[in-house]
Structures are given as structure tokens and as C-alpha cells.
Structure 1
Amino acid sequence: MEDVYVVVTIGLGSPINVPAFTAGVANLISPYPRFHCIQVTEGGNRRWARVKVNVDEHIVVPELDPVAVAANPDRAVEDYVASLSVYPMDPSRPRWEFHLLDFPTSEPGVVSTVAIRAHHSLGDGVSLMVLLLASARSAADPTSLPVMPQQSVRTGAIYARQPRHAGALARVWSWFVLMWHTMVDLCFFAATILFLRDPHTVFKPAADGGDDDGDGVFHHHNRRFVHRSLSLDDVKFVKNAMNCTVNDVLLGVASAALSRYYFRKSGDINTKEICLRSVLGVNIRPTTSLQTYVNMIKSDKSNEVAWGNQLGQILLKIHLAMHDDPLAYVRKAKETMDRKKSSLEVVFTHKTSECFLKMFGPKGGAFIFGRMFTNTTLSFSNMIGPAEQIELYGHPVVFIAPSAYGVSQALIVHYQSYNSIMKVILSVDEKTIPDYHQLLDDFSLSFEHIMDATSRLLASIKKE
């Protein structure tokens, strides 16, 4: 993951108080050792080395062209955040930065913007988000931590318990299905690492002279990060009407949007169905409360939180097709997700990667990691945020938009919930997908069609 970075754009509802923000960042990183470390090489091996951190060196207040900012502040923010994907970080310092852009944009309520960049070795999206929220406070009560949504019960064959009245045959059959699905998924995972590659499409063009060397090392072009707000209440409305999960709805929206974009760009006949694959990162930590993590940090037991990267991977099918009924995308997504829940794929992919890393060193781990992303088309993730408005070092937060860059895929789709908002964030390779704003529009339009279809469905049921 040498070139993989996490980028989080945060919209604030007030001008930035730089001294207060700097002091808040200093308190944020103080209990987290990796934020005080750099990687050094000794005898061909890498290790973490503790260094003294000057927080001011990690707080960047750029001087942008005032004319460009006044003419189009949204574009100024987008261009600046995009420049982070090609601007290298100083390896002699811990690899994390806060970039402060103190001017308003067109997004309602946004007065300033903070862009955070951190190397992925510092942690995955879940651990970094938890660390950030541990230093935030509720806007309604500045003395309290943010209120997080109630953790949903994990479902699927892994977590399901057979009823007591279930017979021995039913129990044996359930375990047989679980093992069979796991074996099939692991075979496809191994085939993907070795040779199985997604077809070239508008989302995955053929290699064009060295962008991808075949093992995941990617000489990336300028990366663009764009986002759009959806109503979280509307997402839950579809979820309840379709008797599915939020993830099912979001995957259905992504499938509909990518289908709309693909058939418009490629000119293929609309009756043709294409199957692409996405790498879905799954947090394998036990579900726990934000307060539990904060208590561990304060008690100097941060190792118990399992910081770093604690992710398993699922190879998830994305079906591209033009359906007359928009809800068909949600039904197909539910079918796909239900099938994956009856498998131990996420556990085995995580353990397999760990074993390769221990047996063959970083190059062995990099081979699996690189081939998995090289041979698939996109990445997909969803993270849960606070259920109320929060403040970050005294600054009200309007939105949170996490993303990443550095993998060989041209498209990464993230979803992030916060308060009553569901953000869809796209990280795109500008050369492969130059009309990325149009792709973002496809997500909004697809969700509107799914909402309308859901309303019509409920109206017809009520009428009957």
C-alpha cells in the first residue's frame, strides 16, 4: 500500500480558527503512536521509527489565486484536493496533513473546508474516522461525544443461529451451504489473484503505455474527488419498503448509476447485461460504541482498539443492465449481498493476506493486494457517521466526505452517512472518466428514479 492514501474532505459551517484547530489536532494525534512515526529501512527491512512532531508542519494553509476562488470557489476546492493525489508527501515526516481552505462554497451552510490526507498505513477508514470523531463533540452539547446510530445486528449465515426446534438435517444443510459458498468464493478469489480479469470497459480501459505494470503498482493520473448529498431518510424509506438493508439500497443505486453511464458512453444495446466486479472492504472488528474506543484511548490501551488496517475483502458483482423497473437494481443488489452473507469469504481473504505477508514478506502481500485491484473494476465501501450535527474543535461540521487514491482502479465509490445526509463520494481517474460530474449526476438521477418507483409501489399496494 505504498502509494495508497486516505483523503477526507470536511465542510465547516464557520471560518477556521487556525490556532484553535492546530491545538485540536495536537490533542487528536497525541495518544496515537503511528502519527508520530515514519518508516525507515534498515538492512532491507522497514520498521516504524518514532520522531518528534511539529504540528505546525502538518497544518497547511495554501495561498490560492483569489481571482479563481472568487470566480468559482467549488472548482477551487476541487482542484486543490485533486492536486493532493499527485503532490508527494515528505517521507521524513509522519505522513498526515490537514489542509485549511478558508472560503465559502456553494454547498448550503459551508463557510470553509478542511482536506485531510493520511497514508493508509496509519489506519483504514474505520479506525481513522473513529479517531477523528473521538476528538469531535456534539453540537447540541459540546461536553458530549457525538451520538452514533444504533449498531445494527449483523445478519447472514455467519451470525445466524439455528432455531432450537431445527432438526439435525437442517443444521447440517446450513453448514454445508456456508462451506460450499465459502469454497466457491475462495476459488474465485484465487483465480482473480492469478488470472481472472474483468473486461475492459469505460470504467476499466486497456493499459495505455505503462499506467499499470500488472502487479498493482500504478502510476496514476490526476485524481478527482467529487461528492453529492442524498437524503438518508429517503434511503431508509426505500430500505423499509423493499425489506432490505441500507447497503442493499446503496449498491442498487451504484449499479443503476453505473449502468446509465455505461450504456450512454459505450453505445452498447440496452438489452445486454454485463457483470463487473467490485472490491468491497469490510470492517472485521467487533461492533462497539464510540465511547468504548475513547475510553481505550484515554486509558492508554489503544492497542485493544485494533488500529491500523483491519479489513477483509469481498469480491462483489456489479450488474450493468437497463431495467424498466428501477427497483430491479435494488432487488438484484439484495440478492447479491444475501449470497455473500452466506459465506466466510471476508474472514478467509483477511487471513490469507496476513499469511502471505508473514510467509513471503511485503512483496507477497503486495502481490495479492495489487492483483486484486488490478483485475477488478472498482472499489465500494460504506461507513456510518454521527446521527447528529457535530463540532470539530469548535467548528460546526456540515458534511464529511472520505475517499482514497493510489490503487489501480479508475473508480472508487464511497458512501458516508452523517446526521440526515448520505454522501456519495467518487474518486476517479480523470483520464479514464473525464466527465466525472456527469457520472455523479447519474447517481443522483438513479436514486430519484428508485425513490419514485418505491412511492408508486407503496401507493399501488395501499390502493389494492
Structure 2
Amino acid sequence: MVTRIAASDATRSEGLANPLNTASQVARRARDTTAAAARAGAQALPPAARKAAGAVQKNVRRAATGMLGLSGERMSKVDTAWLRMDSDSNLMMINGVWTLAPGITWEALCERVQQRLLQYPRFRQRVVEDAAGATWVEDRHFDIAAHVLRETLPHKPGQSMQRALQDRVGELAMQPLDPRRPLWQMHLVENFKGDDGQQGSALIVRIHHCIADGIALISVTMSIVDGGSEPPKRSRKEREAATTAEDWIADALIKPFTGLTVKALDLAGDGAARSLKVLGDPEKAMQHGLAGTMDMARVAYQLVSDAAALALMPDDSPTRLKGQPGQAKRVAWCPPIPLEEVKAIGKALNCSINDVLLSCVAGAIGGYLRSQGDDPTGQEIRAMIPVNLRPMEEAWKLGNRFGLVPLVLPIGVANPVERVYEVRRRMAALKGSTQPILAFAMLAVAGLMIKPAQDALLNLFGRKTTAVMTNVPGPKEQLTLCGARVTQCMFWVPQSGDIGLGVSILSYGGGVQFGVITDTTLCPEPQRIIDAFAPEFDQLSLLTLMLPWGD
């Protein structure tokens, strides 16, 4: 990915190549000039007046940065947008579940959390909001017992503990975290027996999305398990550079014709992460340069086309899964499907693993609608799919670094093979799109706004979308925590606005799991969607075996 900066006259007069350095140096010089003038005027004042003026100036400066009386780190604009996105129907929490065998104790978990998790500053910091945004501030009264809790699962007669666990996760998904404390909690069920009959423990984890995205939380996971290592230390200079780069990216993409132009991005695979890394390093981007006027024209056309596509998305098909959500959630998940089988089907059909899995998701949703007496023939629903925008080696830095692309799922296509090829075609059409970067920039701009204005901007997605869907690659090998084997792990993505369906796909330990979280007003029994997933996969597998084989 190549980037060129068409510098403004003011920038050229400074003779600087790096727009980040240009902006910061020009601002610093202006600040120094103003300060010098203020000092010159202050010399004429009596000492007492000079002292009072200095105190006022200091307080104004602190208030302007949103840190009056605080010592902390400013929250990025994108993370601020996620912080403010909570609503009565949807809380911006990532919810996860681990089942463990033979089980662990609360004391052992607390010790591990203190040793490893608290090495990440975000898990020791509370959030202080102000008119201009929010600040991460060290919680001086941090209490591990307020974050690692003991749970006893209430379950009805005849109800399995697995179902009781699902019900509890659904309840916790709508219980806000305490804003006076760091925004995360773990709930440990010490005596848990799953449907497999194994005696062990269950761990429910809740983390507010403003702390990190799913990819970053995989890095957190790998640090707290047995054999995990402490996260690298991030210097203050690195934190400031990351925030400055984010500001520049948002400005460059929201105002592509005011002197800042970016080259069209190849967003296939992890190309998105590499692209954003270069985009966030304008000095390196300047060294590459654009190929010429034709490249600039292509960039302008790509950005305008993608922005228009986001703004002018047609409405979804009107299904029972779309509507005004209530204030209750329910979750469900299925047993793992062998990852090797998914790969084999993808190879036989010349499709990716994602194509196969997303096709099965579309089939499961279509099957669920049929089971409710609806006819999904010819219908489609739009799912917002996150696209990672950071190199995996930088995931430990936490925060949110992903964009969103809208994928229209062909839920009305009944033939599994036809459906997987249609999903492949639609996924291929998204490659080369700048929509993930535009969505990232939109979140950055939303973080600058007051909450009503932010809600209005982000409702663009909610009005046109039925589901949020994510696919996160988890550890390939099975993990252990405090000596216990992690037998299953699952997570659920939050939904924003009026979206009432979240779909999660997680690969772990050689298997792939499918999870759903729904609003009970729109879908009271998500297990019925889950129950349709495995048959869809089995049917696709059978039909693949029946296809003619080449010589």
C-alpha cells in the first residue's frame, strides 16, 4: 500500500515530509509563541497576580485536555466511540465462556489474574469521562474481589447445567459493569458439570469493548494461561504516537480531497493490517509515493464509491430477526466441528474456510426461519463483519483496530453448494474495498461527537443490518489454566443500535464452534438456530462427497 500527502501551502513552507511531525511541530511553535507572549505580558504583573494567572493557565490547560485533577492516558477516539455506544437494548461488552476440567479454585484464579492480567494497565484503570472524551485513570482502590466473583448457577428441576450456564451468560450480557471500576469482570462457577458429564469449572468473562477488540483479547488470553508470558511494555512515546496516527488516519479518510490522499487498499487476508500500518506511518508512506495522477484518480473513485455504498445500503429483507429489540438476551453455542473437515470441504470446492462457515451460518438462519413458518426464499440479510486492521504481533497493545464490511447473506438459497459459491462470490467482491478503513475512520469521528450525534451517525449501520458476525482464530492447541484443561471456549460479540442478532465463530484446539446471542423479543430461542448449524454443515459435506471427482 502506498500513500502520498499532497501538502498544503502551510505544510510546504515548513519543509517537512511527515504530516504528523508537521502538525505537531506547527502546533508546538504556535503554542510556544503564545506562551512567550503570555510570559512577556505576565512580567509586568505583580508576583501574586503572576502566580494566580499561572494557576488559572494550568487549570485551563488541564481542562482542555480533559484531565483536570487526573493523571492518566487519553482514550483514543475509536475506543471512546465504543465506550459511548451502550444503550438500553445493547451493552458494548464482549462476553465469553470457558469450561475447565477438572476445575479450578477462586483463590488460584485470583492469584493468576494478579500475576498476569494486571500487567496490562487497562485492567487496572477506570474510565473518567468528560465533555471532550475520556481518560484511562489508575484505580487507586482496585479490589480483585470486585472483579473475580464466585458464582453458583441456579437451575430449574430437569434443567442441565449447560442450559443454566447459557441463561446466566444471557443475564450478565445485560448487566452493566460498574463505571467506578475497571470495566471487566470474571465469574467463576467452581462446581460445574457440562453435558459431557465432566466435573469441572466454568468461567464467564465480561470485558467492555472500549478496552480491546476480539483479536487483541486473544493476546490477553495467551498471557494468562499456563506457560503464558507477560505482555511487552509499551512506552509513553509509543502510546502517544499511536493516538496521533489514529487522528491523522481519520482526517485523511474523512477529508480525502483536502490535501491528504490514500492509495486504494488491498484488503485480502491480513493485507488490511499491513495497509493500516503503513497508513499510520506517513513518513514511510511518503517514501513510497503514488504512481501518478491515474492512481490518485483511482483512489478518489474508490473512496467515493465505498462511502456511497455505506451510506446508500438498501434495507434488509423484513424477517422476524429484525425489529426493535427489548432488554433481555439469550446465548447458545454448539459442540466443536473438526477444523480439518471444514478445510477439506473448502479445498474440494475451491473455497476458503470462511466461505464454508458463513454459508453454513446463512443456511442455519434460513432453516430457523423455515422452522418458524416463514419462507426465506429470495430473502437476504446483511451482517456487519469485522476486518482486522492491525498486525497480529501488535495485538498486545489492546484497543480497537478493526473496520467493518457489510456482507449480504443469501439465507434464501436452499442448496448448500449453490449457497457456498454465492457466499464466495460476495466475499470476493469485498476484496479491494476501502470500506473497513472508512468504517474505522467513521468510528474515530464518532468518538469526537456528543452522544446524540454519535448515535445518529452509527445508526447508519443499525438501520440497515440484521446481524453482527465475527470469526476469530483462536489457539490451535488446547490450553490449560491453573492446571485445568480448557475443554471449550466461546465468546459473543455485542450488537449496537437496534441490531438483535450476534453470530460468533471461534476456532480452538482443532475445532470450530458456532455461537449466537439474540434479543429475546426478536428470537427467544437461539438454540434453534444453533441446532440448524450442524445439519447444514453435514449436508454440505455429503453433497461435496457426491460431486464428480476429476481424474
TM-score by length of 1: 0.79
Cα distance 1:8–1:69, how it changes in 2: closer, same or farther (>3 A)?
Answer: farther
Match of 2:309 in 1: 188
1:89 corresponds, among 177, 202, 205, to: 177
Q: How does 1:52-451 map to 2 (within 5 A)?
A: 52=140, 53-65=142-154, 68=156, 72-102=160-190, 103-107=192-196, 111-137=200-226, 142=227, 154=270, 183-192=304-313, 196-205=314-323, 207=324, 211=325, 220-268=327-375, 272-288=377-393, 305-323=396-414, 325-358=415-448, 360-361=449-450, 363-405=452-494, 407=496, 408-451=498-541
Q: Distance in 2 between matches of 1:397 and 1:174?
A: 50
| 1:419 maps to amino acid | G
Q: Does the 8 A contact of 2:329 with 2:517 survive in 1?
A: no
Match of 1:165 in 2: none
Q: Distance in 2 between matches of 1:129 and 1:179?
A: 36
Q: Does the 8 A contact of 2:167 with 2:330 survive in 1?
A: no
| 1:267 maps to amino acid | D
Q: Distance in 2 between matches of 1:309 and 1:245?
A: 26
1:3-31 deviation line (CA, Å, top 9, x unaligned): 31110111112121221111111123322
Cα distance 1:441–1:174, how it changes in 2: closer, same or farther (>3 A)?
Answer: farther
| Structure 2 counterpart SS, 1:91 | coil
Number of equivalenced pairs: 406
Q: By how many angstroms is 1:224 displaced?
A: 2.6
Q: Distance in 2 between matches of 1:172 and 1:393?
A: 59
Match of 1:33 in 2: 121
Q: Distance in 2 between matches of 1:260 and 1:120?
A: 31
Bigger relative contact order, structure 1 or 2 (CA pairs below 8 A, ≥6 apart): 1
| 1:204 maps to amino acid | K
Q: Does the 8 A contact of 1:39 with 1:49 survive in 2?
A: yes
The unaligned stretches of length 5 or more in structure 2 are 1-84, 231-267, 276-291
Which one has the largest radius of gyration? Answer: 2
1:287-319 deviation line (CA, Å, top 9, x unaligned): 43xxx76xxxxxxxxxxx442111101011111
| Structure 2 counterpart SS, 1:449 | helix
Q: Does the 8 A contact of 2:102 with 2:200 survive in 1?
A: yes
Q: Distance in 1 between matches of 2:473 and 2:425?
A: 22
Question: Cα RMSD over matched residues?
Answer: 3.0
| 1:434 maps to amino acid | P
Q: By how many angstroms is 1:334 displaced?
A: 0.6
| 1:203 maps to amino acid | L
Cα distance 1:455–1:283, how it changes in 2: closer, same or farther (>3 A)?
Answer: same
Q: By how many angstroms is 1:45 displaced?
A: 5.1
Q: By how many angstroms is 1:402 displaced?
A: 0.9
| Structure 1 counterpart SS, 2:346 | helix
Q: Distance in 2 between matches of 1:264 and 1:447?
A: 17
Q: By how many angstroms is 1:406 displaced?
A: 5.1
The unaligned stretches of length 5 or more in structure 1 are 146-151, 160-170, 212-218, 294-304
Q: Does the 8 A contact of 2:501 with 2:517 survive in 1?
A: yes
